[in-house]
Amino acid sequence: MTEVIIRNSIRCDLCHSEIQSTHRHDFRGCECGKTCVDGGFDYLRRIGSSWTDTSIVEEIASPNANDIRERRQAADLRNKEQGQ
């Protein structure tokens, strides 16, 4: 089994903004500047102490590019439907 990052995101507990990193070295900060997320689909990096993880990481038996892309698209669609 391989862990695959489907969505790399956090919600700041101070300003309540949700931030998402979508590619490697995509360092993003929240509105108040107290929390940050980085790593896109390559690694999970968080800065700050007041955040809630909203990432999606799945264990996939034999990941292939199409399967991973479909899972990421489905996660994005769910987030849009939920207004995130």
Domain boundaries, the chain: 2-81
What span, in angstroms and rounded, lies between the C-alpha atoms of 63 and 58? 10
Q: In angstroms, how far apart are the furthest CA atoms of the chain?
A: 40
pLDDT tens digits, one per residue of 24-71:
999 999 999 999 999 999 999 999 999 999 999 999 887 788 888 888
pLDDT band for 75, please (50, 70, 90 cuts).
confident
pTM of the model as a whole:
0.83
Q: Which residues of 32-46 are buried (b: 16+ CB within 10 A; e: fewer)?
A: eebbbbbbbbeebeb
